[in-house]
Amino acid sequence: MGPIEQADIWLFRLVNGHLAHPAADDLMLFLTNAGLSLPLLLLAGAFMVVRRGRDGFVVLLLAAIAVGIADFTASGIMKPLFHRVRPCFALEGVRLLVNQSHSWSFASSHAANAAAVAATVWIFFRAGATVDRAYVLLMVAYGILVAFSRIYVGVHYPGDVLGGIAIGITSAALVYTVAAWTVKRFVHGAAMRERGLWP
């Protein structure tokens, strides 16, 4: 076992064992269960539409695409590639708070999906009014807490979560880059061609 893996296990035991408290269990279960926290995500989506109108639906679509890419990358590529056993099955004395199937551990799709949403929100709302920046902070905090909850409930190592966050941010950046290039190349380009300003 290398030093990185040892540090990963030590950090997992710190969060899952030493930092755990019954008062925080319900919050962590709420955050880790996408079905329970769905109303929060619906409110977050409604905020996009209220603040940006029709453009808000475009941001929602881009966020959904980023989540799809992040989820596929984490669950469809990385997990079968690395075959890392979850800590709740690999270690003794894990405080497991959820029912968990024997799927692989790296990378965390929950963390990847939450990071994809948070990164998309950051891209489109970070330069807005105070309420927009507050929204960004809330969504980033939500993404971090979702990622943290996966360690807390006993189903992921910190390394799995960090890998998932990196996948989510990369997915959001990729979707934004492709979307921006498409708009510039085809939408703006068509408008400029109509005015004779584009060859």
Q: What is the pLDDT of residues 42-86, one digit of tens each?
A: 999 999 999 989 889 999 999 999 999 999 999 999 999 999 999
Structural domain harbouring 132: 14-172
In a domain, 102, yes or no: yes
* Residue 5 belongs to a domain: no
74 part of a folded domain: yes
Q: DSSP letters along 53-115, please? A: THHHHHHHHHHHHHHHHHHIIIIIIIHHHH-PPPHHHHSTT----S---S---SS-HHHHHHH
User: Does residue 56 form part of some domain?
Assistant: yes
Number of separate domains in the chain: 1
What's the rounded mean pLDDT across residues 89-99?
93
Give pLDDT tens digits for 180-192. Answer: 988 887 665 554 4
Please indicate, yes or no, if residue 70 is contained in any of the structural domains. yes
Report field, pTM of the whole predicted structure over 0.75:
yes
Is 23 inside a domain boundary?
Answer: yes
